[in-house]
């Protein structure tokens, strides 16, 4: 099942190039009172909402996917977790390019089995999340603001100290993630957390539709020019192990997002550019930069 959020917070069932308005299923969610528990209530209840979403399609109005303003498919993630340096060719380009490492964020990891083993994972502000239709607003004009296209994993249920062998049952679904990044000396959590610097979309594809998240072609173009092209089989630390690493430190809540890392080819964007990202099985999206 493919589920989007659009316009002023409507919920859409995506089939082909149509969006069916199934917003009414929101009424099935319980009313919340302070203090509201962490996590995204819609994602938490997604399994039980699926039949209602399918049923609501009958009689629902529909619009073209290309004509709606797409919001983040996850409304309220409690956190966005991201993996640094998780493709070998990106490790190599990071070592070779002083604009990427700035003599601060050095990519070598001798003595460790992986960059994630050395550097761990990091957090992006949840307030950085937007959908494809909202676009990216450059927060650091005149500096190198890069696209990083990544497979995004959406957690479906509370997870703590989950072993990799059990991890995939905690996944609600997947989408495309853009981990927008300004290059420089500041901490990652500052350089990657400006408003609009996490783009999720175009919609959530539920986990049952993706047989192997470790074998997906993906790419990004800017103004039609190819920039990054890779396959998730080249992830150094895969999805299941990332969930193990993240859930060892953080309690993961429904709707939490793990950005799995970007391949080689990161490069800058500027206002007026349009990014076009796609991941096999997860759709494609245009994201404007302003
Ligand atoms: Mn990244």
Q: pLDDT tens digits, residue range 116-126?
A: 999 999 999 99
Write down the residue that tokens 């919920």 correspond to.
11
Q: How far is CA 24 from the centre of its chain?
A: 26
Cα-to-centroid distance, 277 and ligand 1 (Å): 14
Cα-to-centroid distance, 14 and ligand 1 (Å): 27
* Contacts of 48-53 spanning 24+ positions with Cβ under 8 A: 49/25, 50/1, 50/206, 52/22, 52/25, 52/28, 53/1, 53/3, 53/11, 53/13, 53/22, 53/25
pLDDT tens-digit series, residues 219-243: 999 999 999 999 999 999 999 999 9
Cα-to-centroid distance, 149 and ligand 1 (Å): 7
What is the DSSP code (8-state) at residue 232? G
Q: 274, 289 in Cβ contact below 8 A?
A: yes
Taking CA 131 as the corner, what is the angle to CA 221 and CA 36, rounded to the nearest 5 degrees? Answer: 150
Three-state DSSP state, 145? strand
Quick one: pLDDT at residue 137? Answer: 98
Q: Report the alpha-carbon distance of residue 30 to residue 41 in Å, rounded.
A: 9
**pTM for this model (two decimals):** 0.98
Query: In this structure, what are the phi and psi dihedrals at residue 203, rounded to the nearest 5 degrees?
Result: -155, 170
Domains and CATH numbers, the chain: 2-71 (2.30.30.370), 80-288 (3.90.850.10)
Residue 12 has pLDDT above 90, yes or no: yes
Three-state DSSP state, 280? coil
Q: Report the alpha-carbon distance of residue 100 to residue 185 in Å, rounded.
A: 9
Query: In this structure, what are the phi and psi dihedrals at residue 103, rounded to the nearest 5 degrees?
Result: 55, 15
- Rounded percentage of the chain residues whose pLDDT exceeds 90: 98
* 217-222 vs 257-259, strand pairing mode: unpaired
* 18-21 vs 225-231, strand pairing mode: unpaired
- CA torsion 25-207-41-9 (nearest 10°) is -60
What residues have their beta carbon closer than 5 A to ion ligand 1? 148, 179, 262
Query: In this structure, what are the phi and psi dihedrals at residue 200, rounded to the nearest 5 degrees?
Result: -120, 135
Burial 137-160 (b: 16+ CB within 10 A, else e): ebbeeeebbbbbbbbbbbbbbbbe
Quick one: pLDDT at residue 213? Answer: 98
Residue 170 has pLDDT above 90, yes or no: yes
CB count within 10 Å of CB 226 equals 11
| 275-281: average pLDDT | 98
Q: Report the alpha-carbon distance of residue 122 to residue 19 in Å, rounded.
A: 34
Which residues have C-beta within 8 Å of that of residue 71, sequence separation ≥ 6?
4, 5, 6, 7, 9, 130, 131, 133, 134
Confidence band of 263 (pLDDT split at 50, 70, 90): very high
Confidence band of 216 (pLDDT split at 50, 70, 90): very high
Q: Report the alpha-carbon distance of residue 162 to residue 164 in Å, rounded.
A: 6
Confidence band of 156 (pLDDT split at 50, 70, 90): very high
Cα-to-centroid distance, 82 and ligand 1 (Å): 6
Cα-to-centroid distance, 85 and ligand 1 (Å): 7
Cα-to-centroid distance, 83 and ligand 1 (Å): 6
Quick one: pLDDT at residue 105? Answer: 86
The continuous run of DSSP H or E covering 49 comes out as helix 46-56
Q: Report the alpha-carbon distance of residue 196 to residue 139 in Å, rounded.
A: 9
């Amino acid at each position: 099942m493919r589920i989007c959020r659009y316009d002023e917070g409507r919920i859409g069932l995506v089939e082909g190039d149509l969006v069916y308005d199934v917003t009414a299923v929101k009424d099935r969610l319980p009313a919340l009172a302070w203090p509201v528990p962490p996590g995204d209530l819609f994602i938490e209840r997604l399994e039980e909402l699926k039949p209602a979403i399918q049923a609501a399609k009958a009689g629902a109005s529909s619009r073209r996917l290309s004509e709606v303003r797409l919001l983040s498919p996850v409304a309220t993630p409690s956190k966005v977790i991201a993996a640094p340096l998780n493709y070998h060719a990106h490790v190599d380009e990071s070592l070779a390019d002083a604009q990427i490492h700035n003599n601060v964020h050095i990519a070598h990891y001798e003595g460790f089995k992986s960059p994630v083993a050395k550097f761990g994972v990091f957090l992006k502000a949840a307030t950085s999340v937007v959908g494809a239709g909202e676009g990216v607003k450059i927060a650091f004009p005149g500096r190198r603001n890069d696209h990083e296209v990544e497979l995004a994993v959406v957690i479906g249920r509370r997870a703590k100290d989950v072993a990799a062998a059990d991890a995939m049952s905690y996944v609600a679904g997947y989408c495309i993630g853009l981990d927008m990044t300004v290059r420089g000396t500041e901490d990652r959590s500052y350089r990657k957390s400006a408003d609009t610097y996490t783009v999720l979309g175009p919609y959530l594809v539920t986990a049952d539709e993706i047989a192997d998240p470790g074998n997906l072609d993906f790419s990004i173009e800017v103004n039609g020019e190819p920039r990054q092209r890779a396959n998730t089989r080249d992830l150094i630390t895969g999805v299941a192990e990332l969930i193990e690493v993240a859930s060892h430190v953080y309690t993961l809540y429904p709707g939490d997002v793990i950005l799995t890392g970007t391949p080689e080819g990161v490069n800058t964007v500027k206002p007026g550019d349009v990014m076009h990202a796609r991941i096999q099985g997860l759709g494609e999206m245009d994201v404007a930069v302003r």
